[in-house]
Amino acid sequence: MSQTRKKQIQDRRLAAQGGKYDVAYFAKKHGLELKDAKRIIEAHGSDRDAADRSAHRFKH
């Protein structure tokens, strides 16, 4: 198994465990600036659903 594949598996496990959102990924996913994405993630911690809802409300 290649290093890249191992890294992908580890990343998926972290995401599945409710690990912290990556700020750059979150910002890109929701079309936000990094500072706004960071503020939302800090406010909601590892609660991805709440962070996603907040980002959706922030954009609209």
Q: Which residue has the tokens 């496990």?
A: 13
User: What tokens does 49 get?
Assistant: 């659903």
- pTM assigned to the model: 0.65
- Going 53 to 13 to 9 to 25, the CA torsion angle's sign is positive
Domain spans in the chain, listed from the N-terminal domain onward? 20-60
Is the confidence at residue 9, as pLDDT, over 80?
A: no
More confident residue, 39 or 59: 39
How many Cβ atoms are within 10 Å of 21's Cβ, its own excluded? Answer: 23
